[in-house]
């Protein structure tokens, strides 16, 4: 594989929407997502009212890359070899001695291994995006509550209620029906929760089109919500920017359901109308699959093997499946890179919004968690009389394995020429090669980490 990656060499450029093209104001959106679930659990399922009260300090629990053991109520952070670096029961962190006793330095029993998706099953759940993280805090506090109520309860069966909360707040008809808490609030005041795309990004998208690239928008959000987001962040003429818009894509299944692919559906007034045996022309569609999309891209580009790059924020839904199943180039949007260089979180909202919204703010979810430490590396206690060693996290390893490059935002590359040559992660043994504009400071300072 070539040492460098360039957008100029790509025939089609695809984008996820939420937290990729559309950046959210995380200190505002996180409490909204949390409340959409907490209100449901308390009012509909009879959970403790304490769940409704969240302090600014509580948000420190949130950290991407954690796994929840649904049977035991434990959250864990994995090293690149699958061993457990840190753990908690609910929000209560596990002491090092108890951690060694419980997990014994062996790979976690559900560790997916080097290859394969970060599977989600009835036994565990991986948290890898900003829609998920408020749910991690809520689930941890549910475990706290149930443990307290039931004198140290050892097994837990709350996940079915979380799934019911998802269905209530985020089902396909929820936007149209004004159902739940989340969609009505976003509709009421989108500017509170969404960052508009800067003009540099809009110019960049138009530049890609002028250069003959096929532009794709592939989102698991439903078409009505997609329309609201795009009109707010890009303007009412946003459809002019994209050749193909695919909503309700049901990722990662959009890429991974082989060979029984879901068909594309036509849309009318945001309602699915007709299932299509194949995709014949550009337009706006629902569901579908990467195989049929690629056949259309062959026709549109006149190439037998058009080169596709896909931008996304979720390793589970975007990056791993696009690379593993479709062999697309992948650009990971990693907001943990924002403001990293000086150790301070990037300003989370523009100055004109400062003080506009009352109440305690959530910690920006892209800043360092004191409880869980770095998203990229962590320390492992050495044997007696030996020093601790630093190791890569499993999340960090997956970035360098499945991403072509990782960037803090699309804005970070929007003013570069299209033929700019990015260093790929695969271009050397370095775990930092593919980060643009610079690697996380913590990785730069620890280039010679232990790799297990």
Residue 398 has pLDDT above 60, yes or no: yes
Kindly report whether the peptide bond that precedes residue 437 is cis, defined as omega within 30 degrees of 0: yes
Question: In 106-158, at which residue ranges do the beta strands (DSSP E only) sit?
Answer: 124-126
Question: What pLDDT does residue 149 have?
Answer: 87
Mean pLDDT across 23-47: 96
The dihedrals phi and psi of 379, each to the nearest 5 degrees, come to -100, 150
Question: What pLDDT does residue 355 have?
Answer: 47
Q: Model confidence over 161-198: pLDDT tens digits?
A: 999 999 999 998 999 999 999 999 999 999 999 999 99
Catalytic residue of the set 16, 128, 318, 340: 16
Neighbours of 4 (CB within 10 A): 13
296 membership: H or E segment, kind and range:
helix 290-301
Residue 152 has pLDDT above 90, yes or no: no
Mean pLDDT across 382-395: 73
Mean pLDDT across 347-355: 45
* Closest to 232 (Cα-Cα) out of 195, 182, 185, 277: 195
* Closest to 174 (Cα-Cα) out of 46, 103, 375, 182: 182
How would residue 157 be classed by pLDDT, with cut points 50, 70 and 90?
confident
Question: What pLDDT does residue 118 have?
Answer: 55
Higher pLDDT, 212 or 2: 212
* Closest to 249 (Cα-Cα) out of 179, 180, 314: 314
Residue 124 has pLDDT above 60, yes or no: yes
Mean pLDDT across 252-277: 93
Mean pLDDT across 409-428: 93
Question: What's the pTM value of the predicted model, to 2 decimals?
Answer: 0.92
Question: What pLDDT does residue 344 have?
Answer: 44
Catalytic residue of the set 11, 18, 60, 313: 18
Question: What pLDDT does residue 346 have?
Answer: 41
Residue 421 has pLDDT above 80, yes or no: yes
> Percent of the chain beyond pLDDT 90?
77
Residue 16 is among the residues annotated as catalytic for this protein = yes
* Closest to 243 (Cα-Cα) out of 264, 215, 267: 215
Neighbouring-strand partners of residue 121: none
Q: Return mean pLDDT, the chain.
A: 89
DSSP for 247-274 reads: ES--TTHHHH--SSPPPEEEEETTEEEE
How would residue 395 be classed by pLDDT, with cut points 50, 70 and 90?
very high
Mean pLDDT across 7-18: 98
CA distances (Å), origin 449, targets 9, 178, 258, 445: 34, 50, 37, 10
* Closest to 251 (Cα-Cα) out of 412, 19, 11: 19
Residue 244 has pLDDT above 70, yes or no: yes
Q: What is the 3-state secondary structure (H, E, C) of 319-334?
A: HHHHHHCCCCEEEEEC
How would residue 65 be classed by pLDDT, with cut points 50, 70 and 90?
very high
């Amino acid at each position: 594989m070539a040492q460098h990656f360039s957008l100029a060499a790509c025939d089609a450029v695809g984008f996820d929407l939420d937290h990729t093209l559309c950046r959210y104001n995380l200190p505002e959106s996180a409490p909204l997502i949390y409340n959409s679930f907490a209100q449901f659990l308390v009012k509909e399922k009879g959970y403790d009212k304490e769940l409704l009260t969240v302090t600014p300090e509580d948000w420190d629990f949130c950290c991407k890359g954690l796994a929840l053991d649904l049977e035991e109520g434990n959250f864990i952070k994995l090293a690149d070899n699958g061993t457990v670096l840190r753990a908690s029961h609910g929000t209560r962190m596990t002491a090092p001695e108890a951690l060694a006793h419980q997990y014994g330095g062996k790979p976690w029993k559900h560790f997916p291994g080097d290859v394969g998706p970060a599977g989600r099953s009835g036994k565990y759940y991986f948290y890898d995006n900003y829609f998920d993280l408020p749910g991690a805090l809520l689930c941890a506090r549910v475990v706290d509550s149930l443990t307290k109520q039931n004198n140290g309860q050892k097994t837990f069966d709350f996940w079915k209620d979380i799934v019911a909360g998802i269905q209530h707040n985020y089902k396909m008809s929820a936007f149209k029906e004004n159902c739940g808490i989340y969609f009505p609030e976003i509709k009421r005041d989108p500017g509170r929760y969404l960052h508009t795309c800067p003009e540099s990004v809009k110019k960049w998208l138009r530049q890609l089109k002028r250069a003959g690239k096929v532009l794709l928008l592939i989102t698991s959000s439903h078409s009505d919500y997609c329309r609201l987001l795009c009109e707010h962040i890009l303007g009412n003429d946003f459809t002019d920017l994209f050749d193909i818009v695919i909503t309700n894509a049901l990722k990662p299944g959009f890429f991974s359901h082989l060979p029984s692919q879901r068909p594309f559906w036509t849309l009318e007034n945001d309602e699915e109308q007709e299932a299509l045996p194949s995709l014949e022309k550009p337009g706006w569609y629902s569901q579908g699959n990467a195989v049929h999309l690629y056949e259309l891209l062959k026709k549109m580009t006149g190439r037998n093997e058009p080169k596709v790059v896909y931008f996304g924020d979720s390793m589970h839904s975007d990056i791993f499946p696009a690379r593993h199943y479709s062999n697309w180039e992948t650009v990971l949007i990693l907001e943990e890179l924002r403001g990293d260089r000086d150790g301070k979180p990037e300003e989370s909202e523009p100055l004109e919004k400062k003080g506009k919204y009352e109440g305690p703010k959530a910690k920006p979810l892209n800043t360092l968690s004191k409880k869980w430490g770095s998203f990229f590396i962590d320390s492992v206690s050495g044997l007696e009389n030996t020093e601790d060693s630093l190791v890569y996290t499993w999340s960090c390893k997956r970035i360098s394995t499945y991403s072509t490059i990782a960037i803090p935002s699309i804005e970070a590359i929007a003013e570069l020429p299209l033929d700019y040559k990015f260093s790929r992660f695969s271009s050397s043994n370095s775990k930092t090669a593919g980060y643009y504009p610079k690697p996380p400071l913590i990785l730069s300072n620890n280039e010679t980490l232990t790799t297990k």
